[in-house]
């Protein structure tokens, strides 16, 4: 039976599917599979089910003579050398779509939480400070009727915008070249990034991390934003220049940041963002619902099963691997 290595514990449904026709080895630790173990496992594996925390680079691909499929348990795949995999005829899969709504729900929740300063408010209660309340304490910002800027109008960006229509928000967006019909339906306006940064009350990032989007929001971008602006990042930490963000939050160039993702992850405990009251940080929970994580596991397993049979993966990042064979 083909040998499949799974780099972290995932919900059982996907694993059960794999076990019907594969020998499945699952790393059971709370920390990621250590690099040396990953290299050893890759040397024997026909397929690997990977997490964003696994670096699938050329050294690993070179160490894996039998590898046919790398199946990422995520829609993003910035942890994988896709070109290197393609050169070696290795198919790369991901899990788009099934996590769109969960991630958009989470981005919206983070936007609301930042607007109403829920992180600070919770600390205030837990630290016994509530007794000093007065009517100007912990004032937040209105979301209903405000302007939302969506950077990256793809699946999740559009789902975020759809939620914003229920809050009567003006919606601006960049990116998403084929999104005209959805934009028209939602009343969203396509604008240049600079206009979006200058006019939005809330800016929500939904682009993939690529060489083009790395550091997309840097020193200049924060200077364009409103002093009251709130940044929501559920995309990837690397899309924002961390040092520029720290300065922007410390100097009041923007009001608040809500981060589901950081660069690096996990965030080191000495990172200055952790010292700021106006920064809400949670540990990459975008897709973290029971149903969604289960569905992601099934798709990741189905990608592996198809690839092991030499069939195009249901969700393939480099379908040219299969086209070249025909």
Could you list the active site residues? 236, 265, 284
Q: Segment 58-77, which members bind ligand NAD (CB under 6 A)? A: 75-76
Collapsing DSSP to helix, strand or coil, 314 comes out as coil
Smaller CB separation from ligand NAD, 45 or 107: 107
38 close to 60: Cβ distance less than 8 angstroms: yes
50 binds ligand NAD (CB under 6 A): no
Helix (H) or strand (E) run with residue 44 in it: helix 35-44
304 close to 71: Cβ distance less than 8 angstroms: yes
Smaller CB separation from ligand NAD, 7 or 103: 103
Instruction: From residue 166, give the alpha-carbon distance in Å to each of 88, 142, 200, 231, 277.
Output: 47, 14, 17, 20, 29
Instruction: From residue 231, give the alpha-carbon distance in Å to each of 44, 89, 115, 166, 260.
Output: 44, 40, 10, 20, 11
293 binds ligand NAD (CB under 6 A): no
Smaller CB separation from ligand NAD, 213 or 278: 213
> Smallest gap, in angstroms, from Cβ of residue 13 to ligand NAD?
19
218 binds ligand NAD (CB under 6 A): no
Choosing from 284, 305, 307, 315, the residue that interacts with ligand NAD (CB under 6 A) is: 284
The site that binds ligand NAD (CB under 6 A) totals a number of residues, namely 31
264 burial class (0-12, 13-18, 19+ CB within 10 angstroms)?
exposed
> Smallest gap, in angstroms, from Cβ of residue 74 to ligand NAD?
7
270 binds ligand NAD (CB under 6 A): no
Smaller CB separation from ligand NAD, 45 or 148: 148
Terminal alpha carbon distance of the chain: 25
Residues 181, 198, 121, 289, CA torsion sign = positive
Smaller CB separation from ligand NAD, 68 or 295: 295
215 binds ligand NAD (CB under 6 A): no
Per-residue x/- mask for ligand NAD, residues 129 to 168, rule CB under 6 A? ----------------------xxxxxxx-----------
> Smallest gap, in angstroms, from Cβ of residue 157 to ligand NAD?
6
Smaller CB separation from ligand NAD, 64 or 217: 217
Q: How many degrees, rounded to 5, is the angle at CA 26 between CA 21 and CA 29? A: 170
273 close to 251: Cβ distance less than 8 angstroms: no
82 binds ligand NAD (CB under 6 A): no
Tokens 């020193």 belong to: 219
Stretch that binds ligand NAD, among 6-14, 33-41, 233-241, 248-256 (CB under 6 A): 233-241
In DSSP notation, 52-86 reads TTS-B-HHHHHT-TT--EEEESSS--TTB-HHHHH
229 close to 203: Cβ distance less than 8 angstroms: yes
Residues in touch with ligand NAD (CB under 6 A): 75-76, 96, 99-100, 103, 151-157, 174-177, 206-209, 212-213, 234-236, 260-261, 284, 286-287
């Amino acid at each position: 039976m083909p040998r499949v290595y799974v780099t972290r514990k995932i919900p059982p449904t996907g694993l059960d599917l794999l076990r019907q026709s594969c020998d499945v080895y699952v790393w059971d630790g709370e920390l990621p599979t250590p690099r040396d173990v990953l290299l050893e496992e890759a040397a024997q594996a026909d397929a690997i089910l990977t997490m964003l925390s696994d670096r699938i680079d050329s050294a690993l691909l070179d160490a894996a003579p039998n590898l046919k499929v790398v199946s990422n348990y995520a829609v993003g795949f910035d942890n994988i050398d896709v070109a290197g995999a393609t050169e070696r005829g290795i198919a790369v899969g991901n899990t788009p779509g099934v996590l769109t709504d969960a991630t958009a729900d989470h981005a919206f929740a983070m936007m609301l939480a930042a607007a109403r300063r829920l992180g600070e408010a919770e600390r205030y209660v837990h630290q016994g400070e509530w007794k000093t309340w007065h009517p100007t304490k912990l004032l937040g910002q209105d979301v209903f009727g405000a302007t939302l800027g969506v950077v990256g109008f793809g699946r999740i960006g559009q789902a975020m915008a759809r939620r914003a229509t229920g809050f009567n928000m003006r919606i601006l967006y960049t990116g998403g070249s084929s999104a005209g019909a959805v934009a028209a339906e939602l009343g969203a306006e396509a604008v240049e990034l600079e206009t979006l940064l200058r006019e939005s009350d809330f800016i929500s990032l939904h682009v993939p991390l690529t060489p083009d989007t790395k550091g997309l929001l840097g020193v200049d971008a924060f200077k364009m934003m409103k002093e009251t602006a709130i940044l929501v990042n559920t995309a990837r930490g690397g899309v924002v220049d961390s040092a520029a963000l720290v300065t922007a939050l410390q100097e009041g160039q923007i009001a608040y940041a809500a981060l589901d993702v950081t660069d690096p992850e996990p965030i080191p405990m000495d990172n200055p963002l952790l010292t700021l009251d106006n920064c809400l940080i949670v540990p990459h929970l975008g897709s973290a619902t029971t149903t969604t994580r289960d569905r992601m596991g099934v798709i990741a397993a189905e990608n592996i099963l198809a690839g092991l049979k030499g069939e195009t993966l249901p969700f393939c990042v480099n379908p040219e691997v299969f086209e070249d064979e025909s």
